[in-house]
Amino acid sequence: MLVSKPSTDCHVSALRNILSDAYGMLYGFSQWLQSGPGLSSTKAGLITLPMSVLAAVSALVGGRLKTIRNPLICGTVGLVFAAGCIALITSGTPTLLLTLLGPPFGIPQGICSNANQAAVYAQARQEELGTAAGLLRTSQYVGAIVAASLLGLLFGKHPTDHGMHSLAWVMVVLSAALLIATVMDRTLPSAAVSEQHE
């Protein structure tokens, strides 16, 4: 059986999906909360819970949007802002403020995830859809692996304020580069498949 190779545009969207995933924040923030401020695993989990909840909610909302480019741009701007905020925290930052850092990551993550999925399906030809879906899923796994490797490099044996700040600046640079690339990408569809076919 012949398997159709996804187009270059699909590969670009998959790469964008890797960079827009907030796995670094998801994995690293909870570790730092326990090592830096010295919170229990339960409190660290509760602080990061709003990020996951809002990611799910924003994904549901994003699924109803008929556009692709604008949500991606807005979501990436949100990632730059959120990563910049992380660069300012320390072990002495009040717990309430630490709790407020989760939502700025959760919302862009949900929006970008849906928009990237819609972009891949819009860019893939009919015979490529199955392979494109697999490519998109693989990009999520790769994003998780890259994030885990980056955390090991930056955190070392124990997460510190310096390690968290280094992670934040890496995310700022990557998110800013992703924002520029998204704005400049003329192959990115402006509308989802359902709207384009109407």
Give the Cα separation of 133 and 121 in Å (integer): 8
Inter-axis angle of helices 41-62 and 23-35, nearest 10: 160
pLDDT at 21: 62
pLDDT at 162: 92
Give the Cα separation of 149 and 144 in Å (integer): 9
Residue 47 inside a domain? The answer is yes
Residue 10 inside a domain? The answer is no
Looking up residue 181, the CATH number of its domain turns out to be 1.20.1250.20
Residue 92 inside a domain? The answer is yes
Inter-axis angle of helices 129-155 and 161-184, nearest 10: 150
- Closest listed residue to residue 123, CA positions, set 2, 5, 1: 5
Give the Cα separation of 145 and 125 in Å (integer): 29
Residue 89 inside a domain? The answer is yes
Domain count, the chain: 1
pLDDT by 10s per residue, the chain, length 198: 334 455 566 666 667 766 666 677 878 888 899 988 888 989 988 888 888 888 888 878 777 777 788 888 888 888 889 889 888 999 999 988 888 887 788 888 888 878 877 777 777 777 777 777 787 788 778 888 888 888 889 888 888 999 999 999 998 998 888 888 888 877 776 666 554 444
Residue 13 inside a domain? The answer is no
Which range marks the domain in which residue 142 is found?
A: 22-188
**What pTM value is reported for the model?**
0.79
Q: How many residues does the chain have?
A: 198
Residue 143 inside a domain? The answer is yes
Give the Cα separation of 32 and 185 in Å (integer): 35
Give the Cα separation of 173 and 85 in Å (integer): 13
Residue 12 inside a domain? The answer is no
pLDDT at 197: 42
Give the Cα separation of 188 and 49 in Å (integer): 32
The single-letter DSSP state of residue 188 is S
Residue 157 inside a domain? The answer is yes
